[in-house]
């Protein structure tokens, strides 16, 4: 099938990302497998090619505006769902070491198949809850960067994500444009978890207002966090 790639190339140009033909092909293959699987499994409500390009692929890749991905980075994508932002970041920046985490096993099976089809190396797809694997020394405080596009309160997300970041590393949350109140409400809990808000970066993506909340890991996270399964969502830290 022939796709009109002008919008994708323009968006990549704005991000100063230069992809090879084989990387473009990987994105198309990813899109086609996403849509094929979406017919039998609920992965995304967005299925139009141009919309997936903007709202999933370019949105995922926008991270390069605030974080240098042109180097070896150990990255964990928490609550990755259909693989956003982790898979687009891995295609565009193949030297990344990537761990994808989701609590739904059928999504992890889908992501493992994506990894095989696109021949992606140094990718691990984990069926787990953050509260569980944060107790595992193999993952706790082992990552340069944790990212999440998951829809959750920033205080809750921070409890899920900050424990995986090593001191000096970063947790970056993908958020909508209007985020100031949520950031202010989460600042105390972020400090308790060993982090500090570094900056909030706003940008436009098509007609959408988006932002990155960048949280720097200043010290080790106390061992009691994250709390047991379900608690961070039901009772966010204040």
Condensed to tens digits (0 to 9), the pLDDT of residues 161-197 reads 999 999 999 999 999 988 999 999 999 999 999 999 9
Identify the pLDDT of residue 236: 84
Mean pLDDT within 6-35: 97
Q: Give the three-class secondary structure for 179.
A: coil
Average pLDDT over residues 146-169: 95
What rounded mean pLDDT belongs to the chain? Answer: 96
The predicted model scores a pTM of 0.96
What's the Cα-to-Cα distance from 229 to each of 3, 126, 142, 207, rounded to whole Å?
A: 43, 17, 21, 37
pLDDT at 11: 97
Cβ proximity of 213 and 179 under 8 Å = yes
Report, as an integer, the average pLDDT of 117-128: 98
Instruction: Name the pairing type of β-strands 165-176 and 123-127.
Output: unpaired
Cα distances from 58 to residues 13, 21, 148, 205, in angstroms, run 11, 17, 15, 8
Q: What is the pLDDT of residue 160?
A: 96
Mean pLDDT calculated for residue range 92-105: 97
Architecture of domain 69-234: 3-Layer(aba) Sandwich (3.40)
> What's the pLDDT band for 231 if we cut at 50, 70, 90?
confident
pLDDT above 80 (res 1) = no
Write out the H or E segment, with its range, that includes residue 166: strand 165-176
């Amino acid at each position: 099938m022939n796709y009109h790639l002008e919008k994708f190339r323009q968006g990549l140009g704005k991000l100063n990302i230069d992809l090879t033909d084989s990387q473009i092909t990987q994105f198309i293959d990813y899109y086609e497998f996403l849509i094929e699987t979406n017919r039998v499994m609920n992965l995304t409500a967005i299925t139009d090619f141009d919309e997936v390009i903007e709202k999933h692929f370019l949105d995922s890749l926008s991270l390069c505006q605030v974080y240098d991905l042109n180097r070896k980075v150990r990255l964990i994508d928490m609550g990755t769902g259909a693989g956003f932002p982790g898979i687009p970041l891995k295609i565009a920046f193949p030297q990344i070491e990537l761990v994808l985490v989701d609590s739904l096993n059928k999504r992890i099976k889908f992501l493992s198949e994506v990894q095989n089809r696109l021949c992606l190396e140094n990718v691990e797809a984990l069926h787990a809850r953050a509260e569980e694997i944060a107790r595992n020394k193999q993952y706790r405080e082992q990552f340069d960067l944790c990212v999440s596009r998951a829809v959750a309160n920033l205080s809750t997300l921070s409890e899920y994500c900050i424990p995986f970041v090593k001191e000096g590393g970063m947790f970056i949350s993908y958020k909508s444009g209007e985020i100031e109140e949520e950031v202010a409400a989460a600042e105390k809990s972020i400090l308790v978890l060993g982090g500090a808000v570094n900056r909030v970066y706003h940008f436009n993506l098509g007609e959408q207002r988006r932002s990155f909340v960048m949280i720097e890991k200043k010290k080790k996270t106390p061992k009691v966090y994250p709390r047991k399964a379900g608690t961070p969502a039901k009772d966010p830290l204040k």
